[in-house]
Amino acid sequence: MAQALTDAFLRKVKPPTEGRDEYSDTLRQGLRLRVLPSGRRTWMYEKRIRGGAKRKHTLGTYPGMSIKEARDIALELQLEAERGIDRILDAQEAEEQRTRALAAQKTVREVLQIHDEVHCSNLKSGKERMRSLNEVLAPHLDERLEELDRAVLQSIVDQKARSGAPVQANRIAAYLSKFSKFAWQRGYQTTHIGHGLEKPSKEVPRDRVLTLREMQKIQRASFKMGPLWGPLLRLLIATAQRRHQIGNLKWREIDFDAQQINFGAGRTKNNEWNHFVHIPSFCIFELRSMKDAAKDRWGAEGLSDRHIFTTTGNTPPSGYSKFKQRLDKTLGPDMEHWTFHDLRTGFATVMCEAGADEIIVDRIMNHAAVSSAPSAVARIYNRAKNSDLRRKVIEDWHEVLNEFTPSGDIVAVKSALGSTNTATNISLRKP
* Same structural domain, 222 and 364: yes
Q: What CATH number is given to the structural domain containing 350?
A: 1.10.443.10
* Same structural domain, 20 and 156: no
Beta partners for 60? 43
Give the DSSP H or E segment for 396.
Answer: helix 376-401
**Confidence (pLDDT) at 263:** 83
**Confidence (pLDDT) at 402:** 83
| One-letter amino acid for residue 427 of the chain | S
C-beta contacts of 317-322 below 8 A and 24+ residues apart: 317/228, 317/229, 317/232, 317/247, 318/131, 320/243, 320/247
Task: Write out the residue range of the structural domain in which residue 328 sits.
Answer: 212-417
Single out the residue of 431, 222, 185 nearest to residue 326, CA to CA: 222
Domain finish residue from 58, 85, 112: 85
**Confidence (pLDDT) at 378:** 44
Distance CA 352, CA 358 (A): 6
Distance CA 130, CA 132 (A): 5
Pairing of strands 2-3, 54-61: unpaired
Phi, psi of 21 (to 5 degrees): -115, 145
Q: What CATH number is given to the structural domain containing 44?
A: 3.30.160.390
Distance CA 157, CA 243 (A): 25
Give the DSSP H or E segment for 260.
Answer: strand 260-262
* Same structural domain, 154 and 62: no
Distance CA 393, CA 118 (A): 43
Q: What's the pLDDT tens digit per position in 260-293?
A: 999 866 565 544 556 889 999 889 999 999 999 9
Phi, psi of 85 (to 5 degrees): -85, 125
Distance CA 406, CA 109 (A): 54
Domain finish residue from 25, 55, 85: 85
Q: What's the pLDDT tens digit per position in 374-420?
A: 444 444 444 554 788 899 999 999 888 887 444 444 444 444 445 33
Assigned domain for 360 exists: yes
DSSP state of 33: E
**Confidence (pLDDT) at 272:** 52
Dihedral of CA atoms 69, 74, 75, 80 in degrees, nearest 10, equals 130
* Same structural domain, 142 and 268: no
**Confidence (pLDDT) at 381:** 45
Number of DSSP helices (H) and strands (E) in the chain, helices first: 16, 8
* Same structural domain, 349 and 412: yes
**Confidence (pLDDT) at 269:** 54
Give the DSSP H or E segment for 222.
Answer: helix 212-222
C-beta contacts of 251-256 below 8 A and 24+ residues apart: 251/291, 251/294, 251/303, 251/304, 251/305, 251/306, 251/308, 252/304, 252/305, 254/279, 254/287, 254/308, 256/284, 256/287, 256/288
Assigned domain for 92 exists: no
Distance CA 410, CA 350 (A): 7
Distances (CA, A) of 391 to 143, 212, 265, 276, 386: 55, 20, 22, 10, 8
Assigned domain for 112 exists: yes
* Same structural domain, 296 and 367: yes
CB 261 within 8 A of CB 239: yes
Assigned domain for 8 exists: yes
Assigned domain for 429 exists: no
In this prediction, the residues of the chain whose per-residue pLDDT falls under 70 are 98-104, 203-207, 264-274, 368-385, 404-431
Number of structural domains the chain divides into: 3
Phi-psi region of 410 (alpha: psi -120 to 50; beta: other; left: phi over 0): alpha
* Same structural domain, 326 and 410: yes
Assigned domain for 191 exists: no
Domain finish residue from 85, 114, 145: 85
* Same structural domain, 235 and 362: yes
The pTM of the full predicted model, rounded to 2 decimals, is 0.53
| One-letter amino acid for residue 156 of the chain | I
* Same structural domain, 232 and 283: yes
**Confidence (pLDDT) at 34:** 93
Assigned domain for 355 exists: yes
Assigned domain for 431 exists: no
* Same structural domain, 228 and 133: no
**Confidence (pLDDT) at 96:** 75
* Same structural domain, 246 and 332: yes
* Same structural domain, 143 and 225: no
Q: What CATH number is given to the structural domain containing 136?
A: 1.10.150
